[in-house]
Amino acid sequence: MVSDKLMAQDTKYIQSLTISENGGLMVEDFESDSLGQLPYNWFEQRGVNRPYLYSEEIKKDYFYQIIEEGYSKDEVNKFLRFNGVIAKHLNFPLHQVTNLNLNDTPILSWKWRVWDVPDGADEGNNKLNDTAASIYIVFKVKKMALVKEVPQSIRYTWSSSLPVGTEISTFFGNQKIVVVGTGQTHKPIGEWLLFSRNLKDDYERLFEEKMPSSPLAILILSDGDSTSDSTKADYDDIGFYPLGYN
């Protein structure tokens, strides 16, 4: 649980990721977060302010919260749940992390549990661009028209309607959307799904250039505001791993 002492010692941005037994780097498992709250180490979309520290009135605009479930008396798991319509991005800054090199740990892994998708959503249509769950990797920021800065990212998404394998290019080619799950989940209710992607392969295929070794951030987003339909999805165990990770 987040303590007053931890908050007093806050250096704002994470500078080192926890090393796992198999040589991976854990970004977030939500185990240290407070139940019913926003996750402490995640920032708003720009990566400047912590929603965890916002007033309760402002926090109402964020439909994410930490949930706990028990598989047995001795096995309890915390995770992040989105349940609502209008959402905001959550940003986990990586730009000050010193022990992350994507050439060594190019596999992005995470878990989703999708309960409900926004009906009629379509990531390929700006007017219907909602998603049950998505996770972004921001690699760098590029300048457009000399002044406008646009993040270069890959967004992995659970789509309401598009088939798995669909790839979409948006924001002048700077964001690539990759559909990795679709529709109402066919798995039994309550079952987590594990995803993994080779970032080096995806980046160099989609952008046709060498992948930066130090990403800037991970972002997550669930929403149903364009379709005015609610969605419900869980997130857990986000990390980077070496080749050969299962």
Q: Which residue has the tokens 């498992």?
A: 29
pLDDT (tens digit, 9 = 90+) per residue, 117-156? Answer: 998 888 988 899 889 999 999 999 987 766 578 899 999 9
| pLDDT at residue 88 is higher than 70 | yes
Instruction: State the pLDDT at residue 74.
Output: 75
* pLDDT interval class at 191 (50, 70, 90): confident
**Chain-wide mean pLDDT for the chain?**
90
Instruction: Give the predicted TM-score (pTM) of the model.
Output: 0.91
pLDDT (tens digit, 9 = 90+) per residue, 10-66? Answer: 558 999 999 988 889 999 999 999 999 999 999 999 999 999 999 999 999 999 999
Show the DSSP H helices in the chain as ranges.
4-8, 56-59, 199-207
| Positive/negative CA dihedral, 115, 44, 136, 97 | negative
